[in-house]
Structures are given as C-alpha cells and as structure tokens.
Amino acid sequence: MLENPIREGEVALSFDPAETADDARLVFIGRAFTPWRPERDCPRNMRQVRERLAEAPELAFQLQIDAPFRPGLKDIAPGKAIFVLMWMSSARRDLIIQAPKHRETPAGLFSLRSPVRPNPIGLSLVRVKDIDHGAGRIAVDALDCFDGTPIIDLKPYIETVDRLAEEA
C-alpha cells in the first residue's frame, strides 16, 4: 500500500507498521454493512453520515457478528448506545504527519480521525435500532466505514464513564 502518494508536508515513519507490527493480534468478530464504497463519495465522519441521512433516511447500516461471538450480544437491545471498533484494513499505516484536504497545514495523525494510523482502528458511537440475537445482526442508526469493514469490538456507552470531567 506504500505506493499511495504522499502529499506535501506529510511525513512517513521509517518502518511500515503493516509489515512490522506484532505486539498483539486481533480477531475479527464480524463485519459492517454500509452503503459506502471506496470508489464513491464516502462521508468522512459520523457528522457527514448524519447529514446524508437527513437527505436519504432509507440508508441502512448493519453489524453482522460471527456465530461464536453471538452469545456475547445478550443484553444489547434497541435504543442502547454502543461504541463500534472497526479495523480500517485498507489504509496504509505509516503516515505520522498528514495533510488532509480539509486542513490548511499538515497535522499530527493523533489529532486526526484519519484511518491512516499505526493501528487503523476506527471508533464510532451509534445507537442500536434493532437486533436479532440468534442471527447476530444489529441494525444501527449510522456508520462511517466502508461496506465489509471488519468489526473488532462493541462496547456499551456508559454516560457516567464516557463523559469528560468538567474542565478545571
């Protein structure tokens, strides 16, 4: 994937985490199904997805969880909010300073939500619309990843835990 062009001001690591990373290993627990294809105009984040939904409320988003992991869906119910962690597998991993089109100056990657990062994990907070526990199928209100993206974790959003303390 290193043939992707580097834009002016961008800086790459001296190694490619996609080739060298082996500190820990992930198992994919399922896949996301979304209307977004790489070759089409894909929303950049959840805010843009929700803007599209205002125009096209028929857009549908699903998580399909693999059979061994489905018992773990117990207690997930419509209306609940969950964090979805995805593996943005088509992204390169070595750009440490990036120059996104929407920014005037290059930025440190840890200040960006770009899928290009040492560990290309995506994070989206969604609401469960419907769930079929036996089939491992969860309909959610929105997702900002490509169709077929691997899912690596689901976590309940807990208001008392996931809200920032007030600034001192």
Q: In what helix (H) or strand (E) does residue 163 lie, and over which residues does it extend?
A: none
Helix (H, G, I), strand (E, B) or coil at 160: helix
* Bridge partners (DSSP) listed for residue 86: 122, 151
* Bridge partners (DSSP) listed for residue 61: 140
Residue 103 neighbours by CB under 8 Å, 6+ apart:
none
Q: Give 24 or 39: the residue with its C-beta nearer to a second copy.
A: 24
- What's the closest the beta carbon of residue 6 comes to a second copy, in angstroms? 14
- What's the closest the beta carbon of residue 59 comes to a second copy, in angstroms? 13
- What's the closest the beta carbon of residue 106 comes to a second copy, in angstroms? 8
Q: Give 26 or 60: the residue with its C-beta nearer to a second copy.
A: 26
Q: Give 2 or 13: the residue with its C-beta nearer to a second copy.
A: 13
Q: Give 4 or 15: the residue with its C-beta nearer to a second copy.
A: 15
CB 91 within 8 A of CB 118: no
**The two structure tokens encoding residue 119:** 């560990």
Task: State how far the Cα of 43 lies from the Cα of 45, in Å rounded to an integer.
Answer: 6
Question: Which positions touch a second copy (CB under 8 A)?
Answer: 11, 13-15, 17, 20-29, 45-47, 50, 68-69, 71-76, 79, 81-83, 85, 87, 89, 96-97, 106-113, 117-119, 121, 123, 125-127, 141-142, 150, 152-158, 160-165, 167-168
